Amino acid sequence: MNQARYLTLLTYLLILTTSGCTSSDAPISLDSVGIQAALASIEPSAIEYHMSVLSDDSLQGRAPGTPGYESAALYAQAEFQRMGLQPAGVNGTWRQDVPLRHSTVVEEESRFSVWTPVGTQNMTYDADFYLAADPVREKAEIELAEVVFVGFGVSAPDLGYDDYTEADVDGKVVMYLNGAPSFLPSNERAYYSSGATKTSEAISRGAIGTMTFWAPDDPRLRWNVNAARSKRGAYAWLDPSGQPNRGHDQIRGSASLNQSAAEALFQGAYVSLEDAIASALAGTPQSVLLATRVSISTTTIHSNVESWNVLAKLEGSDPKLKNEYVSYVAHADHFGVGVNFTGDSIYNGAHDNASGSAIVLEIARAFKSLPEPPSRSVLFMIVTAEEWGLLGSDYFVHNPTVSQSGLVANFSLDMPFLFHPLRDIVPYGAEHSSMGESVAQAAAHMGIAIGPDPIPEQVLFIRSDHYSFIQQGIPALFIKSGFETGDQRDG
């Protein structure tokens, strides 16, 4: 029942955004015979079957570029083809190749040390720090660089906050807390929490390296988990010249620190680490030139990986509006095979995100069953490498297989399964476009409330494929259920 309501909501939204109606037109009847017939055609058993296929052990966790991901992508392609949809990939195919670079730190050849007036402390990999793989170079060095602590590393003067106001970080390494000030609005907090946003700001001010750490009481601080995840390495997509979409020649080292390493860097500073953290958490911008210096040496190995997006379309019925596309996107990748802790080393990813891929497939089938296609065309996308930084969707919006100006709206399906009654929703991205009107209409029709982000510290606004579209100015939504359950277990 919960899932049926969610699917109904998504279908209504797609109908509203593909209709081509303006505010002066008569409102669309969401109870029309054709729409209700399409909804009735959605089969929960089909969704369950798709999920079971995509999350089966034989697919080995569907990491990008692996036979398991290839099997998942081919399955999606076969389903789209069986429905009678049209291919929307490159040169009339179902696919868009996404060239990737996988980068991994060689730990035994990498180091991190802190110089103090009384001696140098050599830190221990995993216990005190871990390093980000460098997608640009195999060897990167920072030697005895000055360090500036810059609070959260956020520059948002339009919101009345700027950690860099009095900071000179040119040629230095910046050190900052993960996250962003809690008083910022939810979506802005997510944007400024992004590592990419912070690194870009540091680069613009001349920094040569970055170091991040968590406040001790932050619930997201899971050092052992995060350090283990870093061993998976990182991916970037490659442009036609072979250059990665992330990484920068100017940044010669990026480290994540635990509390002991952060304390070592604050030795001799005029403010204690504890007070600096307290000021940041209180929303006070700050910058502190530390008395210590840092050396970072990173050795990275690179390998090129081929993966691909699956793209299908349902052509619109309006002669003019059919050149505009509303897209549904779900990622099919997951984390592959990891360490065997309990007799099972496969990250099956049934919820994340075989479920989203399954729902895209079933919604596509429902829309193909409509008596007449909607006015605008619909693009159905199964993409790669979301878990590694939204790479498949980001590659698509930078290299679209349809006219970029024709991309008018996007919906992301990411872990859509619900485990409590659907009474309220959080439509991430709705307030930044006219899509908010469609959300309001569909939710009101179903008696569903629209609520604020209940967990802004989790920065969900930037953590799914819709964000790739938003970054290119394309209206996009990521709809999650709220915390209202109708009983005392709310939240």
Model pLDDT, residue 20: 58
CB 154 within 8 Å of CB 163: yes
The two domains 2-99+305-481 and 103-302 share their CATH topology (first three levels equal) = no
Model pLDDT, residue 27: 55
Residue type at position 260: S
Model pLDDT, residue 416: 81
Can you give the residue ranges of every domain in the chain? 2-99+305-481, 103-302
Chunked into runs of 10 residues, the chain (491 residues) has average pLDDT values of 72 74 53 76 88 97 97 98 98 98 98 94 97 97 98 97 96 98 94 96 98 90 88 95 92 97 96 97 96 98 98 96 96 89 86 94 91 92 97 98 96 81 85 82 87 85 93 92 63 47
Model pLDDT, residue 423: 85
**Second-level CATH architecture of 103-302:** 3-Layer(bba) Sandwich (3.50)
- Distance from C-alpha of 335 to C-alpha of 337, rounded to nearest angstrom: 7
Dihedral angle computed from the Cα positions of residues 56, 59, 61 and 62, in that order, rounded to the nearest 10 degrees: -130
Model pLDDT, residue 23: 43
Model pLDDT, residue 491: 47
Handedness of CA 273, 279, 281, 284 (dihedral sign): negative
Site of tokens 């065309």: 377
Model pLDDT, residue 24: 41
Q: State phi, psi for 157 to the nearest 5 degrees.
A: -60, -30
Model pLDDT, residue 436: 84
Nearest in space to 461 (alpha carbons), one of 414, 392, 397, 402:
414
Fold of 2-99+305-481: Aminopeptidase (3.40.630)
Q: What separation in angstroms does the CA of 166 have from each of 177, 287, 288, 361?
A: 18, 7, 9, 52
Model pLDDT, residue 350: 94
- Distance from C-alpha of 17 to C-alpha of 30, rounded to nearest angstrom: 12
What DSSP state is assigned to residue 346? B
